[in-house]
Amino acid sequence: MRIRDRNSLAEQLAAARQRIAELEATLSRLEHRDPLTGTLLSLRSFRAQLELDTARADRYGRPLSVALLDVDRFRQLNLEHGYAAGDAVLAGLGGLISERTRMNDLACRTGGDEFAILFGETGPAEAHGAIERLLLELEDVEIGPVRGISVSVGVAGLTSGERPEALLAAAALALEEARAAGGSQAVLFKPAVGDTTPGLAEVSQGSVIAALASALEERDRYTGEHSESVVDLTARVGEALAIGSDEIEQVRTAALLHDIGKVGVPDQILHKPGKLDEREWEIMRQHPVIGERILRAIPGFGAVARMVRHEHERWDGGGYPDGLAGKAIPVGSRIILACDAYHAMTSDRPYRKAMPHADAMSELSGNAGSQFDPDVVQALVGYLFGRRQAGLAAV
């Protein structure tokens, strides 16, 4: 064989070995990485590392915490936006988790829409704080047609002598509490002190909603009563649009509290008998932002706060405060806007008499596609028409 042929053969063999090495590296990486996110560990690798880190932390008395995350209403997201959008949300969430965790933290996708994070050298309170910062960031994330990701999280810290299975079980219990409380929040596991004590999140949320609704009615009786009347309409429209029951409850809460920001509007503007001038309108237009700030201070109210902020956005993008358009506006906000408008048109106001039902229906239909979501208007008009046909008084 000539020297040139031998050299050519040697080069081909070297290239083949290089290709084989690259394929082996790729297979090894795939074995240890979640294929959808590409940035997180596989479940097998995460469990193996959890075993080692748990044993090490227990041996040396070092803190260790685990968080389990579940995307709220992920099935509904897939139905509304498609499975490709759902996969993009999971990949985006995985990427954000990877970016926001430290070098000694580990994360994986445990399957479906659930994730796990192992916080090394970290106590449960510190891990809980890190997760809450992540939740706030997720509320403003935009991935394709999806704006804002709502996640429920359970956090648990390692106790002396505890096995990895028990640590994960504790985090899972906290996750269930976060889901039961409406999602969009992180719950820190605490051992039960009695089997008849209601969950703290459940008690506090119910109490907070009642207190805020009462404060709104005390501030402005018309606004409070108006909000209560809108609640039932939003639920019926949500049902007609096949929204999940959990999200309908959030829409009901947002409808009840959608004007809570008016507690920050001066009395001379809020109770002015005539129409507002432009300067007064500028102040009044701040009430959705004020309402959002009030509600974001309450654990688990992130999704409700977002609906309240955007309940004056228009389908064509001409609304406020952010000029969102179309499906970038949360569906709950779109529902509240139409139901709120119908009830306002058919109610007496200080500066005008109530509009007849037929005229209000014409206004809704005439503004579908500009001010209102056409699907929401169709569902609302259909519900109101059905009530009339049944011989019931319009809401």
CATH number at residue 144: 3.30.70.270
User: Could you tell me if 287 and 174 lie in one domain?
Assistant: no
In the chain, % helix, strand, coil (3-state, to 5) comes to 60, 10, 30
What pLDDT is recorded for position 370?
Answer: 96
Question: Cβ atoms within 10 A of the Cβ of 312, count?
Answer: 19
Token pair of 207 as six digits: 């109490």
Same domain, 60 and 131: yes
For residues 79 and 218, membership in a common domain is answered with no
Q: Which of 130, 162, 193 is the last residue of a domain?
A: 193
The answer to whether 262 is a known catalytic residue is yes
57 phi and psi angles, rounded to 5 deg: -65, -40
Q: Which residues of 313-322 are buried (b: 16+ CB within 10 A; e: fewer)?
A: bbbeeebbee
First to last CA, the chain: 95
- Do 189 and 226 sit in the same domain of this protein? no
pLDDT of residue 162: 83
Residue where a domain stops, chosen among 193, 218, 246: 193
Residue that is last in its domain, among 170, 193, 216? 193
Catalytic residue among 190, 262, 327, 353: 262
Q: Are residues 242 and 139 in the same domain?
A: no
- Which residue, among 45, 80, 71, has the nearest Cα to 134 in the 3D structure? 71
Q: What is the Cα–Cα distance from 308 to 263, expressed in whole angstroms?
A: 14
Q: Is residue 260 domain-resident?
A: yes
Predicted pLDDT at 312 = 95
Domain that holds residue 267: 203-389
pLDDT for residue 161:
85
Predicted confidence at residue 303, as pLDDT, reads 86
Q: What's the domain count of the chain? A: 2
Decide if 248 is inside a domain.
yes
What are the average pLDDT values for consecutive 10-residue runs of the chain, which has 395 residues?
A: 60 64 45 77 87 92 94 88 91 92 89 91 94 89 89 92 86 87 87 44 53 58 58 92 89 89 80 83 90 77 89 96 93 95 81 82 95 96 79 49
Tell whether 293 and 259 lie within a shared domain: yes
Element (H, E) at 121: none
Same domain, 117 and 226: no
For residue 171, tell me if it sits in a domain.
yes
Q: What is the pLDDT of residue 388?
A: 67
Same domain, 140 and 39: yes
Domain membership of residue 23 (yes or no) is no
Angle (nearest 5°) at CA 33 between 28 and 39: 130
The answer to the question of residue 28 being in a domain is no
- The closest of 124, 63, 128, 67 to 93, measured between CA atoms, is 67
Residue 177: the pLDDT is 86
Are residues 209 and 95 located together in one domain of the fold? Answer: no
* Residue 2: inside a domain: no
Residues 292, 366 within the same domain: yes
The CATH number given to whatever domain includes residue 221 is 1.10.3210.10
Q: In sequence order, which ranges of 120-266 are alpha helices (DSSP H)? A: 124-138, 164-180, 200-219, 221-240, 245-256
What is the Cα–Cα distance from 212 to 293, expressed in whole angstroms?
A: 13
Q: What is the pLDDT of residue 301?
A: 81
Are both 247 and 157 inside the same structural domain? no
Whether 246 and 119 map to the same domain: the answer is: no
Would you say residue 126 lies in a domain?
Answer: yes
> Could you tell me if residue 339 is inside a domain?
yes
